Amino acid sequence: VGQDLLDKYDVKLDSAILAEEKHQPLFKELVDKYNPKYIAGGATQNTIRVAQWMMPKPPNQTAYMGCVGNDDYAKKLEECASADGVLVHYMKDEKAPTGTCAALIKDGERALVTNLDAANNFKPSHLETEKSKEIIASAKCFYCAGFFLTVSVESLVQVAEHALANNKTFCLNLSAPFIVDFFGDQLATAMPYADFLFGNEGEAAAYGQKHDLGEDLKRVALAVSALPKKNSSKPRTVVFTQGSQSTIIACDGKVTEFAVDPLARELLVDTNGAGDAFVGGFLSQLVNGKDMEACVKAGHWAAKYIIQQSGTQFGATCDYQA
């Protein structure tokens, strides 16, 4: 898109926002004038799709739950995720349409405007279905985006309590500065369960500013890693990505930085999904018991691959070499 469209709807590049009333005409304008690509998405689902793709194992090593409408978008989502080997178990809302996200891309940078719709209606009752119970019982690692804190903290806590009681790994993502700024209480409820906390530089800076931790992201990461934690048997690991700058890992009072292999500017297609892909790559190694260096290396590789595509799309086979 051009700067004129961004200005018209008061949208800034490198931002992720929830659609307000003033943004509603944007979705129709994109369809009418811009010939958009329709790509199955959802931040968490994309992370899980990438993790599944990078695992050297058969399908259904991963599962995903969320809420969708009973419409064509929901069918497309399920087809796409299932084709990628992810076991999906959606809650279906008969009254609301499936959520959509407009990814506005200008010169390789992106802005996201999201209509949550059905995604906003996930209920704890879905966790009581037999399929959900089976998925939760068999999983050894759980991942939740910060976006879900706007939907059902009760559901998050229920899954996190299971992880805690069974000494399983629970991972959380800050997801966007507005989560830090406007959903601080919900984030504070979830944080004690987080064995791994992910965020990018913008989210990390927002957290540091809100909690008076300064502007040094290494210090912010250390402070967050030392926050109270329910499972005291393992320290919290904080992972802050910084685009093409080094990734910061803080754990147990120590900070480590991992350099990012740069990508030539002309190869950059779309930064949308880079952070989700990083976490997918990271988790694909974490669940197999790999060390931090291996996890970050896989995360960097996944992010670099995805930013050379339009949206979170990938080939049938993954040629990543751990």
Q: Give 165's contacts (C-beta < 8 A, 6+ positions apart).
A: none
277 vs 46: CA distance, rounded Å? 7
Choice among 71, 276, 291, 319 that is catalytic:
276
- SS3 (DSSP) at 245: strand
Residue 276 designated active-site: yes
Q: Give 232's contacts (C-beta < 8 A, 6+ positions apart).
A: none
**What is the CA angle 268-52-120, rounded to 5?**
80
Residue 111 in contact with residue 14, Cβ under 8 Å?
yes
Q: Give 176's contacts (C-beta < 8 A, 6+ positions apart).
A: 15, 16, 17, 146, 147, 203
**Amino acid found at 261:** D
Structure tokens at 84: 């990628």
Whose tokens are 């209606």? That residue is 121
- How far is the first Cα of the chain from the last one, in angstroms, to the nearest whole number? 37
The CB density around residue 51, as the number of other CB atoms within 10 Å, is 27
196-200/109-115 β-pairing? unpaired
Residue 219 burial by Cβ neighbours in a 10 Å radius (0-12, 13-18, 19+): middle
Q: Which of 187, 143, 127, 117 is nearest to 47 (CA)?
A: 143
91 vs 272: CA distance, rounded Å? 26
Q: Which of 302, 301, 278, 281 is nearest to 290 (CA)?
A: 281
Q: Give 21's contacts (C-beta < 8 A, 6+ positions apart).
A: none
Q: Give 238's contacts (C-beta < 8 A, 6+ positions apart).
A: 196, 197, 199, 221, 222, 224, 225, 248, 249, 250, 251
Catalytic residues: 276
